[in-house]
Amino acid sequence: MMTRLGGTCGIPRYDRRVYVKVSCAVDSTGAVRPTEIDWDGTRRFPVLSCGAQQEWGRWESGSVVKGWRVEVAPNVWRTLWWERGRFFVERRDANGE
């Protein structure tokens, strides 16, 4: 049985997600590092630095969610998420929250 983790463990709820296209580098050990975020085909953000990576859930139950802290501008950090083959960021409200 697949467990969905949206809205738990700090993972954005499904209605708070904006799905994005992401370019990644994969090293010889299979570790994935995001290198660029393509917001909507017109806005691209290079990943200047990649911080902590975390993983929640279980592969056996099909519920794995990964998160990376990425620097998208000098001293501007965001969390980039991955679940079931798709990358997303949390939607920001009009007031920037």
CB 39 within 8 A of CB 46: no
For residue 8, tell me if it sits in a domain: no
pLDDT for res 51: 85
* Residue range of the domain that includes 58: 17-90
For residue 9, tell me if it sits in a domain: no
Residues 37, 20: Cα–Cα separation, whole Å: 7
Residues contacting 30, CB < 8 A, separation 6+: none
Is 21 a residue whose pLDDT tops 60? Answer: yes
Task: Name the domain count of the chain.
Answer: 1
Residue-wise pLDDT tens digits, 39-90: 888 899 999 999 878 887 665 556 688 999 999 999 999 999 998 889 999 9
